Structures are given as C-alpha cells and as structure tokens.
Amino acid sequence: MRARAYAKVNLGLEVLFRRDDGYHELRTILQTIDLHDRLTFEARPNGIELAVDENVVPGGEENLVTRAARLLAERLGRRVGARIELDKRIPVGRGLGGGSSDAAMTLLALNQLWDVGLSQADLCRLGAELGMDVPFFLHGGTALGIGRGDEVFPLALQVDVPIVLILPDFAISTAAAYRELILTKREASLKLQDFASSSLSGEDGLPELTNDLEAATREHLSSIKEYKKSLLDLGAVVSLMSGSGSAVFGIFDDGAAGESAARSLAERGIRAIATRTLTAKTYRERRLEDQPTRPDGA
C-alpha cells in the first residue's frame, strides 16, 4: 500500500491561556495543502522496519512513523509486522505538520493492511497519544482545532483556494516558540469561531484571521514579516505564518497569480511553492493510493 501524507497550514491560530496540564489552550483553523510525503507499506510476519534518509529526519524509535506502527501493533494484540519506506518531502521545523501527517497515514494504512478494524474515532484517540496534530490528519480538509489543538471538528465550509508557500532556510522549534510566547490578558477572540460557523466563502473571512505565535518567533520575526509583505505585494489576499513557523503562506485569487508570485520570489532567491488547499473530500480521495485486496476480490 502507498500513501500520501499531506502537509497543513494554520489559517488562523489563537493562544488563549496556559492550562493546568502545562499545555496551552488553542483555537485554530487547520487546513491540508497539496504538498506531501510519500509512504510505502509492506506487511511482514513480525517486526517494524523503517527505511528513511536519516540525514533528513531521524529513523527508528525517534520517528513518529515507527511509534505509530508499534502503538497500533500493541493495541492489536497479535504478532504483525511491516516494512515502511518514507520519502520525506515536507520540510521539518516549518510548522507544516509533516511528522504528524506521516503518523496519521501510518495508522490509517496499517489499520487496513493488518485488518485491525478500528473506527475513525478509535484511530483519532490513538493519534492523540502520538501528537496534537495527528487526529486532524485523519480528517483533513478544513477543520477547527480546540483544546491543545487535538480536538478536531471538520467544518461545513471547506476552503479551496490557490496558495503560495514560502519555505525559509531556517527552522523554528515549536517548544521554543511557546516558551517565547507572551500572553496578554484579553477576552477570547471570536474571529475563529465566527469563521468556523460562517457560510461566507473562505476569502471573505480569511483576512480577519491572525496567528498569535508570529510574535514569539523573536529572532526571526523580521524575516517572517518581510515574507508576509512580499506575498501581499505580489497580490495575496492574506498572508500568515503557519503554526509555530517558519513557513509563510499567501492566499491568491487564482492559480495563475499564485504561480506568477512564486516565480517572482524564486528569482529573488526565495524558496516558494505554488500549490493549493485540499478539501476533506479531495483529501480522502488522494491519501491512500492503493487499497489492500482480499483473496475473494472484495
């Protein structure tokens, strides 16, 4: 079985307060985009083997793919195994959720390959044990994330727009971003809730959304602001940093404008990709490339 593990951006992110468990209470709009890692799964009698370029991402137990496979095998309660190949294309440390997406696709694919039979809700509960973004990648599309970001509610409004993604040559640690975050006393903003419940098109509501973590990037803040300004100057409707950074994206009115903007940025030596968001329907159709076939052909 082959799978595509798609990246995400945060169309908006609000940090409300620090919780008693040490995490932060979040409100965020999560959105899958058409940039992905590739994974290949082959069933084996036992043992979990991960083939990955360890110069790009760590292998073994440090990798969420291995941890996801072992967690599912433990819950199954019988001897199973798999060889997994990971072709890493989503840059690490850019706020795009690549590791969490890899873990989610591992749970989804092996649930079928091993004939485990867990429901979507069961997989989401397992995913939450691996990371806060993992449950979202079992849904995809446009979704509201609350709590630590791991309580996910798919939205009726599915955003389908061209975007340009800037991938800076520096990474930002999520933990470091939250350590640098300064929370100010304020009433919880209703912008995200308004967007989530709105029947307006995405472009109408998106310019109102913000990312509270941008201010926590500190040493990279000037670069983040410059990337945002560049995208807006090139015609983006709105531009934000994704998650804890460092990726910055801009939403465009049409694909041709986005492609032109990406070319302009590349000419200036800035790594930029013209792509688009994925709705939940498209995401479900594309994430698994091959389905296991039972002996009777069912």
Q: Active-site positions?
A: 8, 133
Closest C-alpha to 143, from 126, 131, 159: 159
Cα(161)–Cα(102) distance, integer angstroms: 24
Rounded Cα gap, residues 248 and 237, in angstroms: 13
57, two tokens: 């991402």
Pairing state between β 47-51 and 81-87: parallel
Question: Exposed, middle or buried by CB within 10 Å (0-12, 13-18, 19+), for 28?
Answer: buried
Q: φ, ψ for residue 273 (rounded to 5)?
A: -125, 130
Phi/psi at 252 (nearest 5 deg)? -120, 160
Distance CA 252, CA 235 (A): 7
CB atoms within 10 A of CB 86: 23
Three-state secondary structure call for residue 180: helix
Provide the Cα torsion 172, 176, 178, 181; round to 10°: -90
Name, in order, each residue with C-beta under 8 angstroms of 19's C-beta and a sequence gap of 6 or more. Answer: 25, 148
Cα–Cα distance, 97 to 132 (Å, whole number): 10
